Amino acid sequence: MSDTFLIHTPHSQDLPALIALWRERMVIISQSVPHLRRHIPAESAHVAQLEMWLTMPTAHIVYATQNNTVIGYIVGDMRDDKWVIQEMALDAHAYHRGLGKGLFVALQTWFTNTEPKPIVIRAPRYYAVEQAFWRALGATDWTDTTWEKNPLYTWMILLSVPPHLPM
């Protein structure tokens, strides 16, 4: 299978494919911390949240496809003068070289072209692989938030805008 993928901006008809990836991500997270499953939002609530992000001028979603199959997406919006990466979900069934970074760079480019600001990440607290991904891009733990206290998530911040590196 090729490691090439295409990046798109979704429309409302693309949401079922994004929700399928979100559902897989929630299964992985809930297996790590079964006692915290009650903090995972209902799927219908998350669909409504995605629909809201689609219509917000200060939010952006990008997703990737390979062979006409959705293999990942990332969501960002603005909060309190900072860009916030709300979530990233990748195909958990196969490795797609450069997928996470490709999605991040697409979102980062949109952030930078819209208004350069610090980037904060809402990362799963018990998903070490995703936290390692963000740390590799230069993110550090960030405790200066009062936005949300959810035991499933932790906050990280990119102290400077990472350079665009070749993939």
Q: Which structural domains are found in the chain, ordered by start?
A: 6-158 (3.40.630.30)
Encoding tokens for residue 45? 């609530």
Taking only the tens place, the pLDDT of each residue in 71-122 is 999 999 999 889 999 999 999 888 899 999 999 999 999 998 988 888 999 9
Report the pLDDT value the prediction gives residue 1, as an integer from 0 to 100: 42
Rg (alpha carbons) of the chain, rounded to whole number: 15
Q: Residue-wise over 84-95: b if at least 16 C-beta within 10 A, else e?
A: bbbbbbbbeeee
Look at the block and give the residue holding tokens 């610090």. 118
The total number of residues shown for the chain amounts to 167
Encoding tokens for residue 132? 């390692």
Distances, alpha carbon 91 to alpha carbons 141, 152, 163, in Å: 25, 20, 26
Report the pLDDT value the prediction gives residue 22, as an integer from 0 to 100: 92
Contact 60, 83 (CB under 8 A): no
Provide the residue type at 39 as one letter. Answer: H
Report the pLDDT value the prediction gives residue 3, as an integer from 0 to 100: 67
Mean pLDDT of the 43-53 span? 91
